[in-house]
Structure 1
């Protein structure tokens, strides 16, 4: 696919995010912290924990500052309980939430692991991730916090039954969330974040410039709320295996490669959306990393 078309596709998808962001940042001065929202987000006792390692889709209910929320986990277990766990997180506005998971990693013959894809809050429809998830900075944090709680719940369940270790794989928003999880808990053998960066503030800034939209909030202020690079820096660089696209208009290579100063990212000739639609290079990257850590 030629570069012009690749970038046009990215730009057309970014248009909706660009329209939504001013409302997201409107009350930034009164915004909670991610840590505060996470502390108030708990797995509801009505969530049936015992079947989380069984095949199928399972609901995970959360008590949150934004009210009760339902997430999901799609599970494809390996026959051997001691097999490692591959814990996957989708991208923002990905619907169904299993779409990229199925295309990239849900192949138990080539990847003999337990496979689980977790769903972030506000991903039950096409419109919800931006309309609800980006309604405010608090709801953005809630999307992240909800995913972190579900990921921990799934990892606990599989490792309690003998899973050897856990590998986190995520694309776009899911890659960022996976890095936050590792930065907070340090529980994964490896983290494979693709087409992503922990600096969401830079994405918002670059998107506004792409559409020539004035931004009322300085970049430095946006970074105070949406640059999660300090979580990345808390990760062991030997366990991180990032990948960026050289035509990506979301996470621009020239603005995000330096974030990974401790670990030079792999670079593929893809845009953001085309990288997810034509994922062979992403799949190859995952397989290469898995082979490396299994040696």
Structure 2
């Protein structure tokens, strides 16, 4: 399926992507590539990442509004947040939305896709990933090592699982995951690990993070301290993706996306109903209506 062309020209879409990627590429610490020798596994990081019950008002997390969640992690105490918006029906399904990497404020795309003045037939929550409190931190702290990248994922996964369990204990019969860019990878990891959702909506995303990172480095002739093939297996999440049932996954890719180029990543979704958009990564992130229509179509089919 393909949505109608966006109002942005293809050249502009690609130039915006390239401009953003250039800035991000310059901020990636050189320590990242040297860290792969001592990297833990993602499952080890997740097991050691727990919600600090003493500092987090867990009982209040299902109330509307923004809540602080403290994580006890191998990298120390980390503060994250969630934003909760409730449906009129207490027994409505839950939609967990995870934003993109370096998206600040973390509710930016969520607020555009799910405007507050519009009712939706589900509870929806937005997750703030670790190291996403202020500009620069996602790259300088989050990409300092393989361990810190895993910590971003592990923190989000722990919060998502906690929120899902809380809402389901209060009557939410179904849970749908939706994520854009980095959030799409996180949603795939959640389903691949736990198999507890009814649908997974990934937008402008692919589980092949290593391939995306290598493509960006090549785009700007960034010399790697170690060969990419030595590190790639640590950031390729296809094993988790392969645990996701075909009928649960609903991907969307941008035809002019330079973050996750379609010619490199479309084949990943061979058995899934791939939706394409005639836009780039950044321009499509601002096309709230198109993203909302994709999500609502999946939700409608899932709940019917």
TM-score (norm 2): 0.94
| Pairing 1:23–2:23 present | no
Contact 1:41 1:65 in 2 (8 A): yes
How far residue 4 of structure 1 moved from its aligned partner, in angstroms, is 1.4
Contact 1:88 1:168 in 2 (8 A): yes
Cα deviation digits, residues 22-45 of structure 1 (max 9, x gap): 431222111111111111111111
Distance 1:13 1:269 in 2: 19
How far residue 129 of structure 1 moved from its aligned partner, in angstroms, is 0.5
Distance 2:29 2:266 in 1: 24
Q: Which moved more, 1:263-272 or 1:172-181?
A: 263-272
SS in 2 for 1:68: strand
Distance 2:206 2:30 in 1: 21
Map of 1:219 onto structure 2: 228
SS in 2 for 1:125: coil
Equivalent of 2:12 in 5, 12, 24: 5
- Count of matched residue positions in the alignment of Structure 1 and Structure 2: 295
Equivalent of 2:189 in 180, 183, 186: 180
Contact 2:87 2:119 in 1 (8 A): no
SS in 2 for 1:86: strand
| Pairing 1:198–2:207 present | yes
Q: Structure 2: 5+ residue runs without aligned partners? A: 1-7
Q: Which residues of 2 match residues 116-195 of structure 1 at below 5 A?
A: 116-195=125-204
Q: Structure 1: 5+ residue runs without aligned partners? A: none
Map of 1:252 onto structure 2: 261
Contact 1:24 1:135 in 2 (8 A): yes
Contact 1:183 1:235 in 2 (8 A): yes
SS in 2 for 1:126: coil
Equivalent of 1:262 in 271, 278, 281: 271
Equivalent of 1:292 in 283, 289, 301: 301
Q: CA RMSD in A?
A: 1.4
Distance 2:117 2:167 in 1: 16
Cα deviation digits, residues 130-185 of structure 1 (max 9, x gap): 01111111000000000000001111111000012111010000010001000000
TM-score (norm 1): 0.96
Map of 2:85 onto structure 1: 76
Map of 2:97 onto structure 1: 88
When residues 237 and 168 of structure 1 are mapped into structure 2, their CA distance, relative to the original with a 3 A threshold, is same
Contact 2:31 2:144 in 1 (8 A): yes
SS in 2 for 1:282: helix
How far residue 222 of structure 1 moved from its aligned partner, in angstroms, is 2.7
Distance 1:264 1:241 in 2: 6
